[in-house]
Chains A and B, each alone.
Chain A
């Protein structure tokens, strides 16, 4: 009997990547097709067909999507209305009184909901939850009618202090749902019952803004899939690295803001852990940016909020990804003071590097890699590029970098790569050190097409012990879709001193989060290897503004949450605080928020299925040699087909390992080893400091 297959689809800016796993045979497949725009569903379906022509065979389909991110960045969401407390109409537009950049005082901000679509209604709740003024529902209905007349598709209710008491907001939402013609209605306390009105309002408004767009996109996909005979489960990757049902995604589209990149980090974490590395730094090198993320003791680092763009704050747990503007398409230039700089200007993937011959004439990092022989100009990555124009790349480097610096063209190309490496290394150093971690204790995993070209520099510059390059670095995010667990996050602001904390109320919230999470898992129609509920409290000493995440040991037996004692909470706080700061203080303790996470663990597939076949040999993988330029001189590097190398193969640098979706460069002082899962491990050669 066939168990069917499980498919991960990651839609990126340039390519749609697909990873498929046949649960019966264990066979895996990858496909890369161009992303279609503006409607990504075309490329999505092409990709699935390339990997699994029989849609009826698909048991599970998991999708990492940039539909929401793009709608936010390009301001292509729905016309959305806001109904808010009298006096607070402009919160979305006033932000937290910031500005886009430190220097220059340039830049304007237009909120996704313009001022004429933000209506005030009489109502007021105080910070202690007292309803000072009950909501005027006639005013709410009148505002709704006005917003509909203006053409709004979605409406959100944003009441101040609704985190402390949602009664007014809930009454307004209920009244709206009676009159609003579609399901795109939400209140801020449903989306994020957490203190800080701008962050809550922004998250809720962006959610409303995305709802019609994302719901429409997912409905189109579902229809097309069903038309193709698909009858399995369909899930969407969230920014927190977990998956959610399509139904949840339609209600909470804002949770998809970092859907694609987070799936990549999940895959990286699983691959590294299987290979024996619980501490990992990932580096995703794209056309315009380099994204860094960390996994510490097997856990991804999650941050509570991010800004999609200036003033567009989304507060929902997201895998923490630090980005710098140094990608393959980043432009190298020499400034008026004679300093070589990389980025932030980028040629992106279109027109792309000079060598692509699409009209860009300023040299990029990729051009430098081509000139140095690290990318084969006759065999570029990505379809439809043809042969790359090596001479044009050289000429551009000569004109824009070599001549102004008084260097030869090869030295200039190497300089570009070294400065780009240094910037990437800096990003890694900052991310790890800021969190108090020593990068030497981490392995580094590059993914994306170009990342593996710069691995050696991370070992050299950051002092990372080794790099691990996954079997399919170019489709890591798609693989992550297949691996990710189902995960729901909940938050509730408590804002009380520990001594004054109402433990019964706390337990009530915990129970409610647990029940809501279980209901979502039950409704997913999926099987889970395990279920888990975790509780954390955001706590601090009275007077501190930065809180500490404190895991609270709570037992859940027969579906019932047992209340933690006050002493257990205090002790958990002291353990967490001491772990971070190495000392305890005498002040009182405050509890700001409860955060609960409900996880349904999905069955994992055996990564050794990705290992090279037993009959592979190094000889069969050999593809001759080609000259590469390293540290001022040409050296003859071996060229090997990476996917054809056997387990245990040791390839001493200089060498280039090629595969359809990536190129790995092994510097002369490094060695590449193929591990039992088909990963390539890169380390220093013996005796090479």
Chain B
């Protein structure tokens, strides 16, 4: 479905491969499904183990998969890759397919590399390597590897620049270029990449790890095809895609027909302090589901724009959270129509900055959950904390050595149909863990004065949200430090669903000689100068509540008060005073 003046999005081949799933017995199919997922899993494992960069090695901010030879559609994706990449890589592969066609078609042993977010989605930190796989001289499929590099140049170490108004201020931009030509690494390209990063050793480690993962994928594909033959595997891939589509249709068909709307807001773009709406209308008709984001804010100057591929990938993440049993391939998206207004925040055009894409897609997921909860109250959880909270504190030691402590911080998950939300969880788009305090203190001249749950931050409900956290960090370095903060949810709290209440908003405070301050943009600020002994304090949101607070049993409210999850006064306000009989 494509409306006038809007962008139609899903790269839907419509027809399945001619081989179809005819002739594939169900046993072979079940076995091949596992074998191919394992190839992607092994590619993940190879990169995690060999990367230098902790964002890949520890936080697993990477992904691998197998893609359709002509369309680039995702056919198989690893289990352990970052959720947001599952949807976005089809666009990266399609971009390479188009580029390769201009260059006379792919050849065996070619690898393309790029990070251009306007073509491949997400942001410039994510470097994508795409390689064709040939069988008996024919293009059989594509393999791809994406990983979040530690630094790709630009104005700010780590590439989260809250003041960027063009991609050029975020990082070096690499369009799809042939990096390996028929097995021959183009060292001139590598030289350009390594000259444009603050951390060349880390970048070289990552690129070698990604090339190694692709090599392994080729080896495993060879073994699989030797064993089963190309026709069988092609047939299985088509059949798995068709089955995913069938599963999705059945899930949608089981939901009532209707149209439900939801809206929420981003605080601002970091440049102008004005709220930015994100709106969705979710419509179900039979076994088709449509999501229309018309009414969302236009493209903005600051770095919270996202490119169209990112929007589509984000829908995929939201859908997978609502239907977690669905397989990870493009078939799932066929029954879904997505409408994204042109020139909007959700389909920004080059060279609009996209470094803070995480904030925008988290809000998209929130509105999709809020809309879907009306259609399927027993399937959908309340909003999670909704901001990645990228905080970096940096400076120079007396010996001149540069240091940068960069991390994302956690918050509460939404209440669920089954129970309370998780305290201090990871963002819905990521499975990354947070480094331990002791590792951070050993590496950087800081001391954490608080690393705790944030009392009173959960959204009330029959099943309350999870709690956010309080992180208070003191600078120990005698030369002081500078802080950069990129967050959201400073003005608009994570919402409850099905009558559940909202959580507490995000709050960032920093200490100066004249006392504590909050950023003028509430949730974004660069270049905060801190002296030795001065602190910053980040208080992250909890999750929204599920179901009416009045339905929460009094003994559970009393227990929450006894544990200090909220104060007695807050409990009275949120739940009434009935719990006091159980106190």
The answer to whether A418 and B27 have CB atoms under 8 Å apart is yes
The answer to whether A103 and B324 have CB atoms under 8 Å apart is yes
Docked complex Cα distance between A94 and B57 (Å): 22
Docked complex Cα distance between A587 and B80 (Å): 30
A429 contacts across to B, CB distance below 8 A: 38
Can you pick out 15 interface pairs between chain A and chain B where the beta carbons lie within 8 Å of each other?
Answer: A94-B451, A97-B426, A98-B431, A99-B431, A101-B324, A104-B381, A108-B422, A116-B564, A160-B448, A164-B442, A195-B438, A339-B33, A415-B30, A422-B30, A581-B50
Q: Indicate whether A419 reaches chain B with its CB closer than 8 angstroms.
A: yes
Docked complex Cα distance between A546 and B50 (Å): 9
Docked complex Cα distance between A544 and B58 (Å): 10
Quick one: which of B41, B250, B420, B450 contacts A430, CB cutoff 8 A?
Answer: B41
Instruction: Give the size range of B's interface with the partner.
Output: 35 or more
Quick one: which of A88, A415, A418, A543 contacts B452, CB cutoff 8 A?
Answer: A88
Docked complex Cα distance between A562 and B563 (Å): 52
Q: Interface with A: B133-141, B240-248, B255-263, which one?
A: B240-248
Q: Indicate whether B359 reaches chain A with its CB closer than 8 angstroms.
A: no
Known: A90-B452, A115-B565, A545-B58. A102 touches B50 (CB 8 A): no
Quick one: which of B80, B83, B247, B432 contacts A336, CB cutoff 8 A?
Answer: B247
Interface residues of B in 414-470 (CB under 8 A from A): 414, 416, 418-426, 428, 431-434, 436-439, 441-442, 447-453, 466, 469
Docked complex Cα distance between A196 and B433 (Å): 13
Q: Indicate whether A426 reaches chain B with its CB closer than 8 angstroms.
A: yes
Quick one: which of A132, A196, A419 contacts B31, CB cutoff 8 A?
Answer: A419
The answer to whether A434 and B45 have CB atoms under 8 Å apart is yes
Q: Indicate whether A233 reaches chain B with its CB closer than 8 angstroms.
A: no
Docked complex Cα distance between A438 and B46 (Å): 15
Q: Indicate whether B49 reaches chain A with its CB closer than 8 angstroms.
A: yes
Q: What's the least CB distance linking B485 to chain A, in Å?
A: 18
Known: A108-B419, A198-B436. A339 touches B243 (CB 8 A): yes
A546 contacts across to B, CB distance below 8 A: 49, 57
The answer to whether A423 and B34 have CB atoms under 8 Å apart is yes
The answer to whether A126 and B447 have CB atoms under 8 Å apart is yes
- Starting from the known contacts A94-B410, A99-B422, A336-B250, 8 additional A-B residue pairs (CB-CB under 8 Å) come to A104-B324, A105-B416, A195-B436, A339-B29, A422-B31, A422-B35, A423-B34, A426-B38
The answer to whether A96 and B434 have CB atoms under 8 Å apart is yes
Q: Indicate whether A524 reaches chain B with its CB closer than 8 angstroms.
A: no
Q: Indicate whether B472 reaches chain A with its CB closer than 8 angstroms.
A: yes
Q: Indicate whether A93 reaches chain B with its CB closer than 8 angstroms.
A: yes
Interface residues of A in 439-490 (CB under 8 A from B): none
B469 contacts across to A, CB distance below 8 A: 90, 94
B52 contacts across to A, CB distance below 8 A: 543-544
Q: Indicate whether B185 reaches chain A with its CB closer than 8 angstroms.
A: no
Docked complex Cα distance between A430 and B207 (Å): 23
Q: What's the least CB distance linking A143 to chain B, in Å?
A: 15
Q: Indicate whether B384 reaches chain A with its CB closer than 8 angstroms.
A: yes
Q: What's the least CB distance linking A7 to chain B, in Å?
A: 41
B450 contacts across to A, CB distance below 8 A: 87-88
The answer to whether A114 and B563 have CB atoms under 8 Å apart is yes
The answer to whether B42 and A430 have CB atoms under 8 Å apart is yes
The answer to whether B437 and A197 have CB atoms under 8 Å apart is yes
The answer to whether A105 and B27 have CB atoms under 8 Å apart is no
Q: Render A387-417 as a binary contact track against B, CB cut-off 8 A, 1 for contact.
A: 0000000000000000001010000001100
Q: What's the least CB distance linking A159 to chain B, in Å?
A: 11
Q: Render A308-342 as a binary contact track against B, CB cut-off 8 A, 1 for contact.
A: 00000000000000000000000000011111110
**Residue with the greatest number of chain B CB neighbours at <10 A, chosen from A108, A164, A197, A418:** A108
The answer to whether A126 and B410 have CB atoms under 8 Å apart is no
Interface residues of B in 1-47 (CB under 8 A from A): 26-27, 29-31, 33-35, 38, 41-42, 45
Interface residues of B in 229-287 (CB under 8 A from A): 240, 243-244, 246-247, 250-251
A544 contacts across to B, CB distance below 8 A: 52, 57
Q: Render B170-206 as a binary contact track against A, CB cut-off 8 A, 1 for contact.
A: 0000000000000000000000000000000110000
Known: A116-B564, A545-B57. A337 touches B453 (CB 8 A): no
The answer to whether B384 and A105 have CB atoms under 8 Å apart is yes
**Residue with the greatest number of chain B CB neighbours at <10 A, chosen from A102, A107, A116, A434:** A102
Q: Indicate whether A252 reaches chain B with its CB closer than 8 angstroms.
A: no
Q: What's the least CB distance linking A346 to chain B, in Å?
A: 17
Docked complex Cα distance between A97 and B469 (Å): 10
The answer to whether B436 and A96 have CB atoms under 8 Å apart is yes
The answer to whether A93 and B423 have CB atoms under 8 Å apart is yes
Interface residues of B in 145-182 (CB under 8 A from A): none
Q: What's the least CB distance linking B8 to chain A, in Å?
A: 26
Docked complex Cα distance between A158 and B556 (Å): 28
A340 contacts across to B, CB distance below 8 A: 26-27, 29-30
Q: Indicate whether A109 reaches chain B with its CB closer than 8 angstroms.
A: yes
Q: Indicate whether B343 reaches chain A with its CB closer than 8 angstroms.
A: no
A114 contacts across to B, CB distance below 8 A: 563
The answer to whether B434 and A97 have CB atoms under 8 Å apart is yes
Q: Indicate whether A91 reaches chain B with its CB closer than 8 angstroms.
A: yes
A195 contacts across to B, CB distance below 8 A: 436, 438-439, 442
The answer to whether A104 and B448 have CB atoms under 8 Å apart is no
Q: What's the least CB distance linking B130 to chain A, in Å?
A: 23
Q: Indicate whether A362 reaches chain B with its CB closer than 8 angstroms.
A: no
Q: Indicate whether B491 reaches chain A with its CB closer than 8 angstroms.
A: no
Docked complex Cα distance between A423 and B52 (Å): 32
The answer to whether A422 and B34 have CB atoms under 8 Å apart is yes
The answer to whether B45 and A338 have CB atoms under 8 Å apart is no
A197 contacts across to B, CB distance below 8 A: 436-438
A87 contacts across to B, CB distance below 8 A: 448-452, 472
Docked complex Cα distance between A225 and B424 (Å): 47
Q: Indicate whether A675 reaches chain B with its CB closer than 8 angstroms.
A: no
Which residue from chain B places its CB closest to the CB of A404 in the assembled complex? B26
Q: Indicate whether A638 reaches chain B with its CB closer than 8 angstroms.
A: no
Q: What's the least CB distance linking B529 to chain A, in Å?
A: 23
Docked complex Cα distance between A216 and B41 (Å): 44
A684 contacts across to B, CB distance below 8 A: none
Q: Indicate whether A127 reaches chain B with its CB closer than 8 angstroms.
A: yes
A543 contacts across to B, CB distance below 8 A: 52, 201-202
Q: Indicate whether B131 reaches chain A with its CB closer than 8 angstroms.
A: no
Which residue from chain B places its CB closest to the CB of A463 in the assembled complex? B223
Which residue from chain B places its CB closest to the CB of A433 in the assembled complex? B42
Q: Indicate whether B321 reaches chain A with its CB closer than 8 angstroms.
A: yes
Quick one: which of B243, B413, B472, B476 contacts A105, CB cutoff 8 A?
Answer: B413
The answer to whether B35 and A99 have CB atoms under 8 Å apart is no
Docked complex Cα distance between A338 and B424 (Å): 38
Q: Indicate whether A279 reaches chain B with its CB closer than 8 angstroms.
A: no
Q: What's the least CB distance linking B366 to chain A, in Å?
A: 12
Q: Indicate whether A513 reaches chain B with its CB closer than 8 angstroms.
A: no
B34 contacts across to A, CB distance below 8 A: 422-423, 426
Interface residues of A in 524-562 (CB under 8 A from B): 543-546
Docked complex Cα distance between A405 and B409 (Å): 47
Q: Render A105-140 as a binary contact track against B, CB cut-off 8 A, 1 for contact.
A: 111110000111000000010110000100000000
Known: A116-B564, A422-B35. A105 touches B419 (CB 8 A): no
Docked complex Cα distance between A415 and B25 (Å): 10
Docked complex Cα distance between A355 and B428 (Å): 43
Q: What's the least CB distance linking A382 to chain B, in Å?
A: 29
Known: A108-B419, A127-B442, A195-B436. A103 touches B83 (CB 8 A): yes
A495 contacts across to B, CB distance below 8 A: 442
Q: What's the least CB distance linking A345 to chain B, in Å?
A: 12
The answer to whether A94 and B423 have CB atoms under 8 Å apart is yes
B396 contacts across to A, CB distance below 8 A: none
Q: Indicate whether A163 reaches chain B with its CB closer than 8 angstroms.
A: yes
Q: Render B509-533 as a binary contact track against A, CB cut-off 8 A, 1 for contact.
A: 0000000000000000000000000
Quick one: which of A160, A199, A415, A545 contacts B26, CB cutoff 8 A?
Answer: A415
The answer to whether B453 and A199 have CB atoms under 8 Å apart is no
Q: Indicate whether B320 reaches chain A with its CB closer than 8 angstroms.
A: yes
Pick the 8 closest A-B CB pairs, nearest first: A337-B243, A97-B410, A104-B324, A103-B324, A337-B247, A127-B441, A97-B434, A96-B433
Q: Indicate whether A95 reaches chain B with its CB closer than 8 angstroms.
A: yes
